Structure 1
Amino acid sequence: MKENQFGKVSTLSLEAGKREGKTVLSDVRFTAPYKIMQPFLLPDGGIQVMLLAASAGIMEGDRQAFSFHILPGAKVEFLSQSYDKIHPMDSGDAKRETKISVASGGSFCFHPQPTIPFAGSAFENRMEIELEDETAVFQMCEILTCGRYARGERFAYRSFRNYVEIRRGGRLIYRDNTWYEPELFSMEETGMMEGFTHQANLFVTKPEDGEAFCEEVRNLLEDERKNCQGGITRLAEGDYAVRLFGWRGQVLEELSDKILRLLRKNPV
């Protein structure tokens, strides 16, 4: 386990390349508590990489640092089977930093761990994604929660920040700065999360038929309006962002998966 001025740092570094028409992991390094399962081969020559965590919690003094490097032509889907449980800390905040680079012709679908802040905890997540050019494909689905709602800890954390920047060729194409501080303002009265318990943020690089993709997403949201609410936005350069609100993380996960599967019909 590495050390820095904040304490222990759990690290995960993954690099994927392409060999003989198939994606392979060219380098994987990590410290406890992570474990990478044997990659699943996908029909298109890509791979699905699954992360398990021996301990899902971020404890006092711990930090997490993730880095992913998708080399030219490689295609990777990354998902986690664990939840980060953010525990209260006497000093400082729990922090995670994630850096992702996708080279020309590479493709990366990223499903980071949902985070569950406990009462009295504070969490800051920062993600920096760099796409080399127009041929670099990136998809992401992340889910945020209001806390342990079943235990009466709705918005009981000290602060919760999620900061994401995505650049293509060095040019900023997407930024999301979600920053909740219940002690400074009422989350309910200001409409934060609009009365729901879970929020899902999706980003996809521009599909070939963006209008068809957008229409199908809107139809899905209409069908699911009893379980959740949301909307889709076309960004300046033809990429799309989707934001969903609901009362159960599983519902948002299932709907997000349906949305991402639409890209198979409208490939990038």
Structure 2
Amino acid sequence: MNRAPYTPIITFNHTQAARVSHLRAAFERRGGQTQVESKYHTAPVKIAKTFPMGGPVGVMVMDVSPGLLAGDRYEFDWTAHEDAHVYLTNQSFTKVHPCPDLASGSSMRQTFALSPGAILENMPEPVMLYRDAAFSSETVVNLSQASVWMQAEVLCPGRTLRGETFAYRIYRNRLKVSYEGELIFAQHQLIDPASDMLSAPGCFGGLTHTGAFYAFSDQITAKHIEAVRDAVSGLSVREQHPVIAGVTETHKYGFAVMAASTAAWPLQEALAAAWEATRAALLGIGPLRLHN
């Protein structure tokens, strides 16, 4: 896309006064059930609760603050040991608040380490970028033989009913996936609303919200990808909030579902369909069910 001249911001220059919050957790399979092996957190993020799911474990992440403020840094480290099966989500939207300038933006970094046979499904609520927000997100995944990693993400361009559509400063999103030490996927997204021609054909057009669903495993084959394509193509047509979506095989051991719409919930619906199709085709299990 065309850009007007501007000074690029590569990274946010967090000072010593920046607030860094950590959440680390490891999971193991014991007696047919995945359990928390260890965990550590610093405010304002923590594991609110875990839920048995008949083998897998569900993990609810809580942020007790209003959201990411200027200078905040969240660092999450997730480890799934051999044959562990973990489902991650959070309680509400990740809200990114305004910052006075680009250099004082907030950031989130997540790392996922999966041992052989481990399964980790990360299905968080959408990210909401308030007016004047600057946010950098980085995800690093390390896979082993027969492990499976899935993740969905939905990006909201602001509180649209308050006229905040694309009123944020900048958004950067990186994803790197490695298998047995080999880098097999890397993507880097940068949205700069002040300079990018977001409404142009070939960019967002008239759409505002974006979503993605990723799945990586050495177990993924063409038939799994085709099952997800069928699920996405069979979505109901939403006249008020049309969804454009496509499924693409990655270079190695994975696929990506990319989607766009004019609201978050149709994207959540579309990505949930892709997720459920992946679970059924790849793992042989149905939709998510929590157990008391």
TM-score past 0.5 threshold: yes
Deviation at 1:10, TM superposition (A): 1.6
Q: How big is the shift at 1:135?
A: 1.1
How far did 1:75 drift? 0.6
Tell me the distance in 2 between the aligned counterparts of 1:4 and 1:71: 35
Task: Give the residue type in structure 1 aligned to 2:134.
Answer: A
Deviation beyond 6 Å, 4+ runs, structure 1? none
Amino acid at match of 1:106: A
Aligned to 1:127: 139
Q: Give the superposed CA RMSD.
A: 2.1
- What's the counterpart of residue 148 of structure 1? 159
Corresponding residue for 1:203? Answer: 214
Name the CA distance, whole Å, in 1 between partners of 2:217 and 2:261: 26
Aligned to 1:234: 249
Q: Which stretch shifts more, 189-198 or 12-21?
A: 189-198
Secondary structure of the structure 2 residue equivalent to 1:189: coil
Measured after TM superposition, the shift of residue 234 of structure 1 is 1.2
After TM superposition, give the deviation of residue 190 of structure 1 in Å. Answer: 5.8
What is residue 289 of structure 2 aligned with on the other side? none
**What is the aligned counterpart of 2:228 among 204, 217, 220?**
217
Partner secondary structure for residue 108 of structure 1: strand
Residues 140-199 of structure 1: per-residue CA shift (max 9 Å, x gap): 111112222121111111111111111111111222211001122221126433422211
| Residue identity matched to 2:226 | E
5 Å-filtered alignment, 1:75-114, equals 75-91=85-101, 92-114=104-126
Shift of 1:206: 4.3
Conservation of the 8 A alpha-carbon contact between 2:146 and 2:218: no
Q: Deviations over 1:42-91 (max 9, x none)?
A: 22x11111112222411122211111011111110001122122111124
Query: Which of 13, 30, 34 in structure 1 is aligned with 2:24?
Result: 13
Alignment of 1:228-267 (within 5 A): 228-267=243-282
Tell me, yes or no, if the aligned pair for 1:77 and 1:109 is still in contact at 8 Å. yes
**Which secondary structure state, in structure 2, belongs to the residue aligned with residue 57 of structure 1?**
coil
Distance 1:112 1:175, change over 3 A: farther
**By how many angstroms is 1:208 displaced?**
5.2
Q: Please tell me whether the aligned partners of residues 201 and 243 of structure 1 are also in contact (alpha carbons under 8 angstroms).
A: yes
Q: Sequence identity, in percent? A: 25
- With the length of structure 1 as denominator, give the TM-score of the two structures: 0.90
TM-score, normalised via structure 2 length: 0.83
The equivalent residue for 2:7 is: none
Work out which structure has the larger RCO, using CA pairs closer than 8 Å and 6 or more positions apart in sequence. 2
Mapped to 2, the partners of 1:10 and 1:106 lie a distance apart of: 26
Q: Structure 1: how far apart are the matches of 2:249 and 2:199?
A: 28
Of 161, 168, 176, the match for 1:157: 168
Contact 1:207 1:213 in 2 (8 A): no
**How far did 1:219 drift?**
2.9
